[in-house]
Amino acid sequence: MQRVTITLDDDLLAAVDALASRRGYASRSEAFRDIVRDSLREERTAAADTPCVGTFSYVYDHATRELAQRLTHAQHDNHDIVVAGLHVHLDHASCLEVSILRGTLGAVRSFADGLSSQRGVRHAQLHLIPAEVSTAAHRHDGGSPAHHHVRA
């Protein structure tokens, strides 16, 4: 067994301690091991090439050096995945962003992981919904452009 050291802010550590107490863990280490196992199990539930839609929400400190610019560049670099976004100023230091995403599970997870791992990003949460993409492009009445549908 390996020993690792992590740094957590006071609020997050208090939340971990409360979780450990509610669930009856004998130590923080046992709680962290289960949290990591749960996260790994969730990632293994579907193949990376499965189509999906989802939301990715996160809070970040807009004063963190160049963070807002890096987040914006990542969204532009992944314009094929990011369908829409919402930006909310929570207070003088924090912003909430919600992105609507569409693509394969692997691509969407990779995008979300890239943003959530940035220094200054907090409370990131990815919610995925497996989807079925129609394979035949079609038109509706009135001569609309050919397009595909996604069914969740």
pLDDT tens-digit readout, 41-53: 666 666 888 889 9
Instruction: Single out the residue of 133, 144, 53 nearest to residue 99, CA to CA.
Output: 53
- pTM for the model stands at 0.68
Residue 124: the pLDDT is 96
| Mean of per-residue pLDDT scores for the chain | 88
Residue ranges, the chain, pLDDT below 70: 41-46, 135-137, 142-143, 148, 152
Rounded to whole angstroms, the Cα distance separating 89 from 97 reads 9
Rounded to whole angstroms, the Cα distance separating 108 from 78 reads 9
What would the CATH number be for the domain defined by 51-133? 3.30.70.1150
Rounded to whole angstroms, the Cα distance separating 92 from 68 reads 14
Domain boundaries, the chain: 10-43, 51-133
Residue 40: the pLDDT is 74
**Residue carrying structure tokens 């969740």:** 152
Residue 99: the pLDDT is 97
